Amino acid sequence: MEGWRLVCSWNGHEGRSKRKGDYDESLADWPRKQEDSLSAAGLSSLGQWLQQDMADSAQAQKLVYLVTGGCGFLGEHVVRMLLQREPRLRELRIFDLQLGPWLEELKTGPVQVTAIQGDVTQAHEVIAAVAGAHVVIHAAGLVDVFGRASPETIHEVNVQGQPSSTCCGSPWTWGRKPCALIQIWNGEGKNAEGESFSLDTYPASPGTKNVIEACVQTGTQFLVYTSSMEVVGPNVKGHPFYRGNEDTPYEAVHRHPYPHSKALAEQLVLKANGRKVRGGLPLVTCALRPTGIYGEGHQIMRDIYYQGLRLGGRLFRAIPASVEHGRVYVGNVAWMHVLVARELEQRAALMGGQVYFCYDESPYKSYEDFNMEFLGPCGLRLVGTHPLLPYWLLMLLAALNALLQWLLRPLLLYAPLLNPYTLAVANTTFTVSTNKAQRHFGYEPLFSWEDSRTRTIRWVQAMDGSAQ
């Protein structure tokens, strides 16, 4: 309450907050006008109310947040957004396997920034980081659709343990037999053969489960999980998801380890909502599903840009322009995380156990046409109004890449951008149209499309300067 004085309502007298130095004539006359009507009991009640208000205000300035994966693409933006937009923050803990040098510049501000090098697959490290935190934003995860990591590693980091040796491990399963889930709901799922299973049957070991258990053991009550649109789709059958929302029915068939792991992890988080944490209070959880994120620091955008430079400033169209994808600016995704974390306590009954798509004003376009919104002003051009290669040939090349990756894995890392999964995703329309986040916790995009585009173009141009 420092810097403010309270003007309260008493016996019908309306009041409001004013800065020190502001003068209110009705308040100045208040003691003289009310001295006959104020009883000792009234003064006592007022004193108790003021003490409680000051105690609440002091507590509000002492919140501790933990961001897992805080040095990743999205995590860094969440960290910076919290420091800029969360006034109640006392300490911000950043937990990551690799800490970025940019963290040093954050340690000079009014908020205590604590960098913690750790691994989410190590339960004792997670518990130590979570202990004493009021809110955990779990953004750590292994985002890999190109095969840089093994399916076992993806599952271990993103979920809770080792998958079956027959699940998602071979490039042949990516194109033929679905290895994961058709539907997941209320803690149960169905495999490709239609058999039901419970998430409780999965081995309890590292990843997201460690974060949940750490919250339970340490008494941390609020958990926000960064999920993904790929929990839903696009699916490998090519079914479009056109202007869908969180309740739109859709057959989610996962053959690739990344969406498979995110789907399981999301359900673990949602199922944990309502569990009693240390001290007896309920754990309140929710999950955010960003569509394709873009913006400063986006590795795939960086890779495509440098690929275009190597090809003489040209990129070749491979996807029909009619295929639409939802994209969202990283700053708006970070802003939604901040809002959710802020409102989760007051709106626990409404928001607990819910999922929310992350969205903004970014236009619906194909991946290639959308990327050219930023790469075009930086000197690249997209060749062709129609795909230069037929789809069947792209499928053959993608399958060949997957086979080479599998054969070469014992010797070297081969992770091309084109594989059966990325081709299927890029060729399937997936757009969202929802206002659930606005209805539940007042979300509005912080950055307009024009701002988002300008910021991303400047970042790409800075890359061009560093490359030269």
pLDDT digits (tens, 9 = 90+) for 192-201: 344 443 343 3
The CA distance from 313 to 88, in Å, is 47
Annotated catalytic residues are 258
Range scoring the smallest mean pLDDT among 18-32, 33-47, 254-268, 320-334: 18-32
C-alpha atoms less than 13 angstroms from C-alpha of 177 in its C-beta half-sphere: 11
| CB distance 73 to 298 below 8 Å | yes
Element (H, E) at 398: helix 391-408
What pLDDT, on the 0 to 100 scale, is given for residue 405?
79
b (16+ CB within 10 A) / e for 334-354? bbbbbbbbbbbeebbeebbbb
Instruction: Give the orientation angle of helix 257-271 with respect to helix 151-158, to 10 degrees.
Output: 20
Task: For residue 62, give the amino acid letter.
Answer: K
pLDDT digits (tens, 9 = 90+) for 30-52: 333 334 433 444 445 545 544 55
String of DSSP letters for 224-237: EEE--GGGT---TT
Instruction: Take residue 58 and report the two structure tokens written for it.
Output: 């002091």
Q: Return the closest-CA partner of residue 222 out of 62, 347, 55.
A: 347
Range scoring the smallest mean pLDDT among 54-68, 258-272, 370-384: 54-68
Grade residue 415 by pLDDT with cuts at 50, 70 and 90: confident
| CB distance 161 to 155 below 8 Å | yes
Average pLDDT over residues 457-467: 81
What pLDDT, on the 0 to 100 scale, is given for residue 128?
96
Rg from Cα positions in the chain: 25
What pLDDT, on the 0 to 100 scale, is given for residue 106?
93
DSSP helix, strand, coil percent of the chain (3-state; round to 5): 40, 15, 40
pLDDT of residue 468 exceeding 50, the answer is no
Separation in Å, CA 39 to CA 19, 29, 32, 43, 234: 28, 18, 14, 6, 68
**Residue 73: Cβ within 10 Å count:** 19
What pLDDT, on the 0 to 100 scale, is given for residue 388?
87
Domains and CATH numbers, the chain: 60-162+202-298+326-362+430-461 (3.40.50.720)
DSSP conformation class of 200: G
pLDDT of residue 24 exceeding 60, the answer is no
Average pLDDT over residues 24-34: 34
pLDDT of residue 227 exceeding 90, the answer is yes
Q: Give all strands (DSSP E) within 291-408, no chain letters.
A: 292-294, 314-316, 327-329, 354-358, 381-383
What pLDDT, on the 0 to 100 scale, is given for residue 189?
44
pLDDT of residue 283 exceeding 60, the answer is yes
Bridging pattern class, strands 241-244 and 381-383:
unpaired
Q: Give all strands (DSSP E) within 97-157, no chain letters.
A: 112-117, 135-138
Grade residue 325 by pLDDT with cuts at 50, 70 and 90: very high
What pLDDT, on the 0 to 100 scale, is given for residue 54?
46
| CB distance 361 to 448 below 8 Å | yes
Range scoring the smallest mean pLDDT among 14-18, 266-270, 289-293, 426-430: 14-18
The better pLDDT of the pair 170, 117 is held by 117
pLDDT of residue 114 exceeding 50, the answer is yes
Average pLDDT over residues 73-87: 96
- CA 392-146-317 angle, 5° bins: 45
Grade residue 17 by pLDDT with cuts at 50, 70 and 90: very low
pLDDT of residue 23 exceeding 70, the answer is no
What pLDDT, on the 0 to 100 scale, is given for residue 144?
54
What pLDDT, on the 0 to 100 scale, is given for residue 246?
95
The better pLDDT of the pair 55, 142 is held by 142
pTM of structure? 0.77
